[in-house]
Structure formats: structure tokens, C-alpha cells
A and B are shown apart, each in its own frame.
Chain A
């Protein structure tokens, strides 16, 4: 893979803008990094969960006496054992800690056990008798919202309904294009499975939990409520996280693990299997999106009509926020003054859905980008031209009425992407390596069977939290003897915040040595590692704390040398007098001194949407353009993505190597949704809860990625840097599907694209 415009050298300074290597990188590659599943404690018990085999059933009776009777079983819990609030949830608490009266999805937890050995746990779970009255599951989101099915939950079958109405509703045509687009359920498929270790305080007055999560303080709040403990009695420390992508935002095993530890008085270790993980966390919303674009004869969008139906599954999780993200991004990165959008998030007996990289915008973008191509065809111009004609700029409005104040280099991203070189290799590669053809090692095709296509995906993505949420992050920086210690609760899920944190401290404070303290709840919240927000938010907090420390440092130096503090600056690892000759090393200036400051960074407030979907609900935006080149075997329906070229609006690349990692990883995930990743459910039963059958792209499925980073520092962002994690994954899916359409000349409207969708359907 090549990256243009990205320096490959690592400097020794390791400040902002350098390609600093991750502090945990070598340990991860060598296998010595302790992931959450590797944690252990003296005398620990294993915990395990009993799950519902039915998507929808009434629980008639639970008899756990058989489990208690097994030697080695120390604790068995069901719903009646939950001391505090019986339910949890990120936005509304509608999900039971253990199913009570009803089970609403296949895999819903019913009981938990702690025992001396995993095998004892397995037998204990098998010995718990649950009598069910099996009910017909509600699996069709349309039926959930049309009111024809009795409520499957006291809160009803509609998780949220929100409209957006803006401008002139009477506009029609003259050019109209329309389509219905469908997305399957994608799994985050992180490699480090859910795992935790809970240590009870003596006397059971509190609990310490080591866990792989995305947001320690939110977990703590929900755990404490369910355990009926004050929050300070629940202490969380981050266990090594092997990926998250949204799947660790919700509670999974946290409450179970803590409660087992408190009841047994022993440390308890829980770890999900892959099968269990598929049912143990929320997924990307499957959905149906209908859009109709009205445009003038030259292709300028005049009005958009749309209807979104997202299947939220059995419990609310973040469905209401995902829905708002989806509908508020209906127009994509294009100008549009008039719109009518109807959005629904439905409750069904399918697996619960919530956060996943892209958070609703993936669904919107797949639809609007297909629409842009249809519009281009209707007007008779090419896909690049239609996008340039409509490209949004700073100062334009969203259909919510919100003004885009962020830097918005949409046209530049499209032009720079178009200027990146197309692959120089012919179909099948230069040397006849079968791995370069669709079908790969399967030797299914010869060059002559293959057709090449090119497609575009351009996206806008909101950064940080929305709809009035007071989103903030806390950091504490302590400078002593030339060493900076940085404390934060920001979860490192693999994105590289631990690298950035050191870079910020080195740049702002002029130190070489930065110590990152344990990531836990002994400091204020950092918010969630999601929504592409941590570099901006927690980066902003560390930057703020470092600046406070630096002020104090300058005051000290100024006092010692009889200077005015405002004339001092950091140059490399020295404090220098900008108006004179003084130069003193930071290490020397801080010998025997301790400066300690804490800073809380808040982004600017946002508003709720009104009933017409109007309001400044988002904070900031990032943009990306991608061009996909794919080779397709039209007769077998197999696809090989050859190249993705992309120009991404990153504000400022604080660590270019890390940014490239996010772009490549995001493209892999978008590729997965485009051509292979889907949790298949039949009547609410999951059919492929394993990596044998839930296919993820491997290294051999990855295309070459050619990258151009657009660095226009955003004045609103603390260091000019925008979030970079989500945009690449959003644009890749529509770009790849557009390229498949281009190769075969058929209208494909569902992802993942299955071979039969390519070769067994008529030309559209």
C-alpha cells in the first residue's frame, strides 16, 4: 500500500505532526500486551452467562437449584438478584440486566454463574431449568412501526420517529431520480472479545472492575445504579482493548461480573466466546432507505425526499441517536435547501443494534451516493462532475438549518482524489498471479471473464456528540524534573490516543519524557471513545492542561530571571526568551518543582431538533472522497477490489502514520459491508455467529490504498485536527458498490452485495 504526502520517518522528538510509533505497538505484535481477557487474580472464579435460545418468549419458570447443587459452583444469579435498577441503557434504560418475564432476542442473558472452572460453569448453565412459552417473534421493522403488532416491550415498538421538513415542499423535478436501498446487519467484529475481571472489596461494600470498554465513567454510572452502590464505590480500570468500533459502548458483562464477585466474595473473570460475542453486543442497524432527488436540468439538487427505517432490534441502546445521525445526513456533502425526511427506528426481536463506526451516516451515505450516480446518468454528466456541481462549502446549510461552520473542502477532496493515479496494473495483475483476480486462490476465472469498474463515494460525517449532550473530557498534567505525567480516562481501543497524548505533551511542554498514567476512573470522565471525538476532545483536554502547566512554568522562569512571562516560549526542549537571549532547558527549569493542572474541555453546546427536524444539533463535520476500482466476474458474481484512492479532510495530521492506519482500516471495514459482512438472521435466529461464516476481509481482500491528506486546520478544533476514524469507512461502501454497478451495468441496491445479486438478477 502506498501513501502519498505522508512522511515515513520517525523523528526522535515525537511531537505533533511526527510519525510517532505507538507505545504499545511492539508488545501487541509480539503477543505480550495484556488484553482484558488475559487478566487474572489469585483465587478467581470463572463467570458464565445463560442465554435465551428463543428470539421471543415468555419465561414461565426458572429453576436454578440444579446449578447450585454442582460442586464448585459458588454463585448463581437471575433477575431477582439484581439489587439496584433492574435495567440499563445508554439513552433510556430499557434493557434488563437479566431477562425478567420475557426474552426479546436470541442470546438475551437470563442467568449468570461463577464457578471454579469453565467446564463447571458449562455444566451449571446446563443445569438451570428455564421453562418458556415460545412466542412468534416480531422481525419486520415495518410491522413494528405500522402499529399492527402488539408491543413487545412496555416502551412500545417505535424507538424513535423524527421528521425533517425544510423549505419549499412543493418542488418537483424537472429531473427526478429515486431508489430504495437496503443494508444488512454488520458486526463490529473486534478481535479482542468481551472480557473483564471484577475484584470485590472486603465486606462487599464496593467493587473494582478491569474491563475492555469505550467509556469508563458511563459504564460506572450504569453499573452503580444496577448494583445499588454509590458511584465512588465502583472503580473501573481499563483492561487492554482489542478493538471496539462501537460495540463496547453498551453494557455487556459488566454488571454480571461485578455482581458475581460481590455475591461470591471472590474475584470473578468473565470472557465471551466469539459465538457469544455476536449475541452479546449491539450491531450496525440494518435498514431500508428510500430517497427521491429533484434536480434542475444541470443536476443541481433542488429538493430531497427520504424515508429511513432502521431496525433497532430488541432494546433501545443508541438507536434514537443513530436515527438522527442518519436523517440529518440525508443530503450528504451536497447543497440542498428543501427536504422532507421521515425517519423511524423500530424495535423488533432481532439482535439489538446501536453504535458502530459511522453511526447512521453509513446508511445515509450508501443511499445518497447511489442517488448521485443516478442523477449524473439522468443529467448525462459523469459522477465526478455531478458531485462537484453540488459540493457543499463552509457556510452552507444542512437540511436541519444548521450552518456548516467547519472547514469543508468537499470539491477539493473530489478533485484531489480524481487526480490520484489509477492502478497501473491490468486486470489480473502484471504477472498472472491468480490472487489478483476475483475468486483468488479458487482459480475461478481467467482474465477474459473479468470486467473492471470505477465508482465514487463522498461523505460528510458529524464529529463528537449531538442533540444537546454536554460532551466533555478531563485531563491532568503534572510536570516535575523535566518529566510530564499525563492522566486521563480516555479509552485506548487501538486508535492511537496513547501516542497522540505523548505527542501533545512533548510539543506543548518541551519535554522528552512523558509518562502516561493508568487509565481509570480516578479522574473525571473523558467521554466515549467514539464519534471520531477523542483527538479533538481528550486531545483538547491534554492540550489545555499542558498550556496551564506551561503558563506556570513560564511564571516560574520569568520570576527567576526577572522577565515578563509573556515573552517566554518553548523551543524544542528549552524555554527561551523571545525578546532576549535566555535559554534554559525545561528539565533544568523544573528541577525540584512540581506543577500540576487539570483541564476540562467542552465542545460548544448543541441543540435538540424541533418537530420539523430543525436545530443546530451537531458540533462539527469532516469530509472525504473515495474512488474505488474493482474487478468483477459478472458470471460468478465475485469481486476483487483493486484500488481505493482517497483524499480526506483531516484538519491537521497530528500523526500521519496513525491517520493512514485509520483510513486503511476504515476502508477494510467499508469493504466488508460492501461485499461480505452480514449477520444473517432467520426468524430472529442468528445463522452465522462465527468467523467461519461471518466473513471479514482478510489481507488478501484489501485493495491498494492511495491517500492524499487534506490539511486545512479547523479553527474550531483544539489543534486544528479533525476526527479521522469514521469517514473512510462510510465512503468505501458506496464507492465499491458504485464500481460494481459500473462494471456490470446493473442496479444493485443492497449491501453486502452477494454473488447472486450480481449474476442471477436481470439487467436493471
Chain B
């Protein structure tokens, strides 16, 4: 493997010190993205800082007063798909269950998903719909960005050299939420189109985020506004015509491309179907 040095810090401050000394070092968490890139020659030799032995990054805190859940960057998908985390953010757990295989989910971290920031990353539409806060730290200090400001392009983030993603904070919401993903295989597949829908019962609103159908995860403000206006949040009731309009607005929000995994036409079609089906699951009554 074309590397020059590998450091395995045990504390966050050690890690930040190493990164301050070599800001261009590559951060390695579960390695499920990074090793693929290295082995295929898409990445050259650099120093490596391993972060999955840092205790602070591998913990979570649930704060019932604030109604928030903080996940350290080193939390794996296999932790997320199980209780208790799955109970607080069911949509994230559903997304986690679609990631790779059990072996991949044991190694793959939420921080790594954010680090790669692929439009097909399965954790990302849920974080987007939950309006997650992304925490970053460097030797110079800490900062927190809303997801929408963190992901700036396909595989491009607001993280600067020397910075580490330390974790994410998401709200624990009452109300329906879910994640759906289309791939051409029944498991172990990269999303061709995906959709996360979150109902905020208190705010009487929904938030819809689409994956794999644009350069970044896309929110659908028009579709959300429609449901806020037309949905009956007390009795989970919505008219079929509204569901159809919702799907149409989701389709319109998509900005898909043609590639070897799918046509743009199918991607656009599929997110509409996913959004409609999710809305019906959230509002089962006509």
C-alpha cells in the first residue's frame, strides 16, 4: 500500500495534534471507502491517521431534555441499526440496514460516510432530512455546521485540511420517519435513488431529502410546504391527490444524471414513487 506513515492516536487531542503537523494526512476510520480507493489506485501515498481507536469518537449521548442525540463520528452502522439508537432515529437505522453487508456495517462509520460525502451515501439523506449538525474540530478549535452547509458537492465537503469530523447531532422527533433506497439488487448495492422522509409532529411539518439524484442530497421545500398545508397531522390523514402532487414535486426537485448504474429518467421516476409511498406510510389515512 502506497503510504508513508501510519499513526494510531488514542485521544482526540492526540489526533488533532498529528493532523496539525500534517494537515494533508489521510484520515482512516473503518476503511471501507478508503481502502477501496487506495487499492484501485485512485489515491496516492500519504500519511495516515487512524481514528477508530479514539474513545471519544466512538460514543453517543442521548439528551432527553433537549430532545437530541449525539453520535460520535466513529459510531458504526451496526450500532446504529440496533437499539437503542434505532429507537431514537428509526430512519437512520433503516438507512444503516441497507449499507453493504454485515461485515461492512461492522466497520463502516457514520463519520466515514460524511467524510466521503457521496450523493449515494445512505446515511446522508437521513442526516439531511433531520437537519443534523455536523461537528468538526482541529487544533485551532471546533465548529458546527448544518448538514446543508457541510456537503458542498459530490464527494466535496466544507471540511478543511487538519480538521476531523467528531460527530453529528440530530433531533429525536416524535412522528413517523423512514428511509427507502432503490438498487438493482436486494441488498449490498449502491443507491440508484433514495429518499428520507421525516415527520415533525410538533412543528406540523415534514422534511424530505433525496439521495443519488443530484450532486448533493436534495431537500424538497415545495413538497414539504404542500404537506404542511394539506396534511392532517392529528389523524395522519392526507388525500391521494396530494400524495400524487407530492411525488410530482419530488420528481421536479431531482437533478439526476445518466450513468452506468441508471438512467436519469429512471432515477427521477423512482424518487417520485419512493416519496409518495413514504408519505402514505406516514399518513396512512385518506
Contacts and interface: CB of A to CB of B under 8 A. Distances in A.
Do A and B actually bind? Answer: yes
B189 interface: yes
A443 B179 contact: yes
A122 interface: yes
Interface string A364-387: 000000000000000000000000
Contacts of A578: none
Given A445-B277, A756-B265, A759-B269, A638 B260 contact: no
Contact of A441 (B184, B186, B277): B186
A444 B182 contact: yes
A600 to B, nearest CB: 46
Interface string A655-698: 00000000000000000000110001010000110101101011
A269 interface: no
A299 B270 CA distance: 40
A441 B180 contact: no
A206 interface: no
Interface string B32-71: 0000100011000000000000000000000000000000
B125 to A, nearest CB: 12
A725 to B, nearest CB: 25
A435 interface: yes
B152 interface: no
A700 B270 contact: no
Contacts of B94: 443
A636 interface: yes
Contact of A695 (B184, B259, B265, B277): B184
A750 to B, nearest CB: 14
A675 B188 CA distance: 15
Q: How large is the interface on A (under 10, 10 to 19, 20 to 34, 35 or more residues)?
A: 35 or more
A119 B180 contact: no
Given A438-B186, A676-B185, A755 B277 contact: no
Contact of A638 (B182, B191, B263, B265): B182
Given A443-B94, A449-B277, A640 B186 contact: yes
Given A435-B187, A636-B270, A122 B178 contact: no
A760 B194 CA distance: 18
A446 interface: yes
Contacts of B190: 692-693
B2 A687 contact: no
B260 A688 contact: yes
Main secondary structure of the interface of B (DSSP, over half): mixed
A275 interface: yes
Contact of A680 (B41, B192, B260): B260
A760 B189 contact: no
A756 B273 contact: no
Give the interface centre of A443, A635, A637 by most chain B CB atoms within 10 Å: A443
Interface string A429-454: 00000010011111111100100000
A16 to B, nearest CB: 39
A449 B185 CA distance: 18
Contact of A700 (B40, B184, B186, B259): B186
B185 A698 contact: yes
Contact of A756 (B180, B191, B260, B263): B263
B261 interface: yes
A324 to B, nearest CB: 33
Give the interface centre of B98, B179, B187 by most chain A CB atoms within 10 Å: B187
A88 to B, nearest CB: 29
B154 interface: no
Interface string A99-136: 00000000000000000000100100000000000000
Given A442-B182, A444-B182, A638-B182, A122 B41 contact: yes
Contacts of B265: 756, 760
A143 interface: no
Interface of A: 119, 122, 275, 435, 438-446, 449, 635-638, 640, 675-676, 680, 682, 687-688, 690, 692-693, 695, 697-698, 700-701, 754-756, 759-760
Task: Identify the 9 closest CB pairs spanning chains A and B, nearest first.
Answer: A440-B186, A687-B260, A442-B181, A756-B266, A700-B187, A680-B260, A441-B98, A700-B186, A695-B185
8 contacts: A440-B185, A441-B187, A443-B180, A444-B180, A446-B281, A449-B277, A754-B184, A755-B182
